[in-house]
Amino acid sequence: MQNMNYEKAIERLEEIVDKLENGNLSLEDMMKLYEEGTVLAAKCSERLENAQLKITELSAGKGDN
């Protein structure tokens, strides 16, 4: 996820959801995908929060360097 941009992370999350919904995986594989998905979701959420903060700062004129 470190080198993955937001769009690619969302795309990967969608793939994980599709695989999990399909249900043709072993429990071990499902757990691995679930873990990967939770990490990706947390990173995406963090990126969105950071973007929102940056937009708020720029809107308030605090982004001037």
The structural domains of the chain, with segments of one domain joined by +, span 6-59
What pTM does this model have?
A: 0.78
Residue with the two structure tokens 């793939």? 15
Position 64 scores a pLDDT of: 58
CB 42, CB 50: distance < 8 Å: no
Residue 49: Cβ-neighbour burial (10 angstroms; 0-12, 13-18, 19+): exposed
How far apart CA 21 and CA 8 sit, in angstroms, is 20
- Say yes or no to pLDDT of 65 above 70: no
CB 36, CB 16: distance < 8 Å: yes
1 vs 9, higher pLDDT: 9
CB 5, CB 44: distance < 8 Å: no
